Each structure stands twice: as structure tokens, then as C-alpha cells.
């Protein structure tokens, strides 16, 4: 939490492909440049302070692992945002048939489904899951516990190939 006065401020758009790591990297560079530009103005008194509105100050607690789980009650958009927000650490995950599957990258599909939430709606090349509002999330990079990161197709060609299409596979 930072509730101090503001000397300078800059915005940065969050792109659909951004995650916590890419934003950290971008904001680090942006912050460095803004600091280098603003510090001399603070030193010579040519910049004025602006009091921060205390009603807009928010506390950002650590995220417990229990909040990192994707559940079928979410929408695909909520699940996608959680994946991006928690990449790389602590990482979002699914529980599929009692096994933890970390999700490194995912995106909301353009198509919808009539399948119930938590079903595999994919084929050998595409690993996607249905969510609460009939939306679909494409899982593009995953990591089974104790294994390396895999593309969706590699995962499905290996251990993921036994998941039945149209049946609920996500555990809540």
C-alpha cells in the first residue's frame, strides 16, 4: 500500500497477452524512466506534490494458494484473468480428476458451448474447458505436477489424452 503524496504519474495499457511478469517488466522500465525524469525536478523544487485521495488507496494482500484455483463456477474471462494475474507466481491451477494442473497460459475462446461447466470441449490439438456461463477457455500451456511445462497439444498427446470429451473433468 502506498498512501503518500504523488510527484509524477503515468499510465500503461494492459494488453490481452500481458501477465504479472510482463507487466512487472514494463512497469519497472516505465518507473525507472519516470523517476529519472522526476527526481531532478524534486531536487530543484520545480515539481509540485499532489495529495493522494485516501479513499482510492487500496491494500493488496498476498494471494493464498487456495485463491489460485480455477473453478467451473467462474467464467472463462475470470479464469483467463486469474491465469494472467498469477503468472508466474504463485500460478493458477486446476484440479482435474484429483490431480493438480498448473495453467501458464490461457485465453478466452470465441466459441461457446452447451456443455455443463467443467467439461473438456476440445480435440487432440486444442485443450479447452467449459465454464459457468457457457464460455470456453483455451488452455495453451500447462504443467502437470512434477513435470515440465507443455503446450496443450503435447499435454493431450501424452497424459491428457484419456480425458473424455463432454464429461466434467474439473474438480471444485
Highest average pLDDT, of 30-44, 48-62, 122-136, 158-172, comes from 30-44
| Cβ–Cβ under 8 Å, residues 107 and 140 | yes
pLDDT of 94 strictly over 80: yes
Ranking 53-62, 121-130, 141-150, 154-163 by mean pLDDT, the lowest is 154-163
Q: Compute CA distances 29 → 23, 26, 33, whole Å.
A: 10, 5, 6
More confident residue, 97 or 82: 82
In the prediction, which pLDDT does 157 show? 82
In the prediction, which pLDDT does 61 show? 84
Highest CATH level, class, for 65-171: alpha beta
Q: Beta strand pairing status for 99-112 and 92-96?
A: antiparallel
Residues in the chain: 172
Domain boundaries defined on the chain: 1-60, 65-171
Highest average pLDDT, of 50-64, 78-92, 117-131, 152-166, comes from 78-92
| Cβ–Cβ under 8 Å, residues 51 and 3 | no
pLDDT band for 161, please (50, 70, 90 cuts).
low
In the prediction, which pLDDT does 1 show? 58
pLDDT digits (tens, 9 = 90+) for 24-78: 999 999 999 999 999 999 999 999 999 988 888 888 888 888 899 999 999 999 9
Amino acid at each position: 500500500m502506498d498512501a503518500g503524496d504523488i510527484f509524477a504519474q503515468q499510465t500503461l495499457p494492459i494488453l490481452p497477452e500481458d501477465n504479472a511478469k510482463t507487466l512487472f517488466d514494463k512497469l519497472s522500465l516505465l518507473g525507472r524512466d519516470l523517476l529519472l525524469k522526476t527526481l531532478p525536478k524534486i531536487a530543484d523544487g520545480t515539481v509540485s506534490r499532489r495529495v493522494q485521495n485516501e479513499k482510492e488507496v487500496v491494500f493488496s494482500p498476498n494471494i493464498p494458494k487456495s485463491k489460485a484455483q480455477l473453478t467451473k463456477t467462474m467464467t472463462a474471462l475470470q479464469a483467463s484473468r486469474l491465469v494472467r494475474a498469477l503468472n508466474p507466481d504463485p500460478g493458477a491451477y486446476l484440479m482435474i480428476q484429483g490431480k493438480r494442473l498448473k495453467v501458464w497460459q490461457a485465453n478466452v475462446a470465441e466459441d461457446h458451448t452447451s456443455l455443463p461447466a467443467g467439461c473438456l470441449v476440445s480435440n487432440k490439438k486444442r485443450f479447452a474447458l467449459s465454464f459457468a456461463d457457457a464460455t470456453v477457455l483455451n488452455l495453451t500451456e500447462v504443467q502437470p505436477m512434477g513435470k515440465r511445462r507443455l503446450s496443450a497439444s503435447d499435454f493431450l498427446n501424452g497424459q491428457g489424452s484419456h480425458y473424455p470429451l463432454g464429461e466434467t473433468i474439473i474438480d471444485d
